[in-house]
Structure 1
């Protein structure tokens, strides 16, 4: 089973991302920073937050679902805010998406929040709402069940990626979701753009439920691409329990499909 985790950056590098995802065709794709605007026919909209302006693929979720036609697609909104089509404000949802190949039946799910709750009337002040999605899937070929959880950790403008009480609580909620979705004998994988440094208390909390991070323990120098100009090269992590038995794990440097590198695990 091949599991990919990727912060898609709202589809900014749309053509290269869609081509890569289609070609790689992982059995499970855990995608963060997903835009879903079914009310518009525009291909692109614009995100505006003060000086931070970013083109967004208006129906990024739909685009990736089309690139993976044999996968069951689930969108998990964290908030509904406004993107812009010139001077026109367009309501748009933002969150996570999970894509599971149809030959792996989904036999359990949890959709929950690790920070705040669903924000229906705007993205809100930073640090904004953050959710997680967990799936429990059956692998017929191997005769086993795998639980996979992913999230997009909160962004804190003032604290950067340093630990805060909110981030500690976020880690505890994530650990709780993981322990609730995984049953005895399951392989467990937890991944996402956690928005923390490698020395974060997050990893102790997740370690307490038997998880080990593959990015930092296998010597990778970071998970950000050249599209990210700021210091701090770590954001994305992939953790597994002892049952998961990785066959291979890669922080994918090429092609560049986002300001984050895809993480690709085979178990």
Structure 2
């Protein structure tokens, strides 16, 4: 079974991103920063915030779904706010997307907020709302159930250090996982956590028997050349001891975002 986690960066590197998502042949694809817009006339829109402008694919969720017809698609928005087509404001949703190969039935799931609540009338104040999506699926080929959770952690302009909000976020993630996971079955947790190694986030997750594959396997960079700041930790993938890791990588090439894809093969 192959799991890929990636912050899709709103599809800014669209052509290379789409090619990679097809070619990687993941069974479960966990994506952060995905857009969905119901009435866009253009393929590209612009996000504007305090003088910053970022191009965004208008409907990245639908595009990936069309490119992966063998997968079931799940979208978990954090907010609906304005993107721009020239001067025209267009309401667009932003959040998590999970794609699961149809040969692996989803037998349980929950989506919930780990920071703030859903904002229907704008992106909301900083640090903006964040959520997590947890699924439980069955692997017919190997004969086991596995729970997989992804989270996009809150972004704080003060940095990636621990705060009370990040402690709450970690506890909320653990609670969501416990709603879906059965007993001590296999568990994988991944995403763009926006924290540093040694964060209280990992203390909370260790209570579920999880250990981090990024730091434990010597990876010191989860960003690409499109990200030019320090520190370069943001993305993580954790597993329990019941997960047999066949291969794991923070993929340096191809570059499909300002984050590296995290790729796990397990059995």
TM tier, smaller: over 0.9
Q: Distance in 1 between matches of 2:52 and 2:134?
A: 31
Q: What do the CA deviations read for 1:4-39 (whole angstroms, capped 9, x no partner)?
A: 000000000000000000011200000000000021
Q: Name the residue aligned to 1:11.
A: 11
Q: Distance in 1 between matches of 2:184 and 2:169?
A: 26
Q: Name the residue aligned to 1:258.
A: 257
Q: Deviation of residue 52 (structure 1)?
A: 1.8
Q: Distance in 2 between matches of 1:213 and 1:154?
A: 19
Q: How many residues align?
A: 266
Q: Name the residue aligned to 2:27.
A: 27
Pick closer, same or farther for the CA change 1:185–1:198 going to 2, 3 Å.
closer
Q: Where do 1:123-138 residues align within 5 Å?
A: 123-138=123-138
Q: Deviation of residue 107 (structure 1)?
A: 0.5
> Is 1:169 aligned to residue 168 of structure 2?
yes
Q: Name the residue aligned to 1:160.
A: 159
Q: Distance in 2 between matches of 1:185 and 1:216?
A: 23
Q: TM-score with structure 1 length normalisation?
A: 0.98
- Asked if 2 retains the 8 angstrom alpha-carbon contact of 1:31 and 1:97, the reply is yes
Q: What do the CA deviations read for 1:58-92 (whole angstroms, capped 9, x no partner)?
A: 00001111121100001111000000001011000
Q: Distance in 2 between matches of 1:54 and 1:97?
A: 20
Moved over 2 A (4+): none
Q: Where do 1:69-84 residues align within 5 Å?
A: 69-84=69-84
Which runs of 5 or more residues in structure 2 are unaligned? none
Q: TM-score with structure 2 length normalisation?
A: 0.98
SS class of match (2:61): helix
Q: Distance in 1 between matches of 2:226 and 2:148?
A: 28
- Asked if 2 retains the 8 angstrom alpha-carbon contact of 1:25 and 1:68, the reply is no
- Asked if 2 retains the 8 angstrom alpha-carbon contact of 1:175 and 1:205, the reply is yes
Q: Deviation of residue 185 (structure 1)?
A: 4.5
Q: Distance in 1 between matches of 2:184 and 2:220?
A: 33
Q: Name the residue aligned to 2:192.
A: 193
Q: Name the residue aligned to 1:239.
A: 238
Q: Distance in 2 between matches of 1:98 and 1:42?
A: 24
Q: Name the residue aligned to 1:147.
A: 147
Q: Name the residue aligned to 1:99.
A: 99
Q: Deviation of residue 207 (structure 1)?
A: 0.7
SS class of match (1:167): helix
SS class of match (1:33): strand
| Backbone CA RMSD of aligned residues | 0.8
SS class of match (1:247): strand
Q: Distance in 2 between matches of 1:234 and 1:30?
A: 18
Q: Deviation of residue 101 (structure 1)?
A: 0.2
Q: Distance in 2 between matches of 1:7 and 1:28?
A: 14
Q: Deviation of residue 103 (structure 1)?
A: 0.3
SS class of match (1:113): strand
Q: Deviation of residue 201 (structure 1)?
A: 1.0
Q: Distance in 2 between matches of 1:204 and 1:149?
A: 17
- Asked if 2 retains the 8 angstrom alpha-carbon contact of 1:42 and 1:58, the reply is yes
Which runs of 5 or more residues in structure 1 are unaligned? none
Q: Name the residue aligned to 2:206.
A: 207
Q: Distance in 1 between matches of 2:155 and 2:51?
A: 16
- Asked if 2 retains the 8 angstrom alpha-carbon contact of 1:178 and 1:190, the reply is no
